[in-house]
Homo-oligomer: A and B are copies of this chain.
């Protein structure tokens, strides 16, 4: 007789679904690392590729606006 109010089978099912997904996520993260490694092996700079991937996710007009403000600030600071 179960004197525990927790449904172990149900809980285990949730945990195993999460573990399977976490496993898949780690595999994809490894794949991403591999592509960067491959790009590096071909002579590309992984850091710059990472920057471009990030830039491409940003809204273009928003990015341009930020670049413009950055330019104004750097000029005001005499940093350019």
Given A18-B35, A25-B29, A77-B15, does the pair A6, B47 have CB atoms closer than 8 Å? no
Copy number in the complex reads: 4
The residue in A6, A32, A69, A73 that gathers the most chain B C-beta atoms within 10 A of its C-beta is: A73
* Chain A interface, DSSP helix/strand/loop, else mixed: helix
B-binding residues in A (CB < 8 A) = 4-8, 10-12, 14-15, 17-19, 21-22, 24-25, 28-29, 31-32, 35-36, 38-39, 42, 44-45, 47-49, 51-53, 55-56, 66, 69-70, 72-79
27 pairs, A vs B, C-beta closer than 8 Å: A5-B72, A6-B73, A7-B76, A8-B77, A10-B42, A11-B39, A14-B38, A14-B42, A15-B77, A18-B36, A18-B49, A18-B53, A21-B31, A21-B32, A22-B32, A22-B53, A24-B28, A25-B32, A28-B28, A48-B69, A48-B73, A49-B73, A51-B66, A52-B73, A52-B77, A55-B79, A56-B79
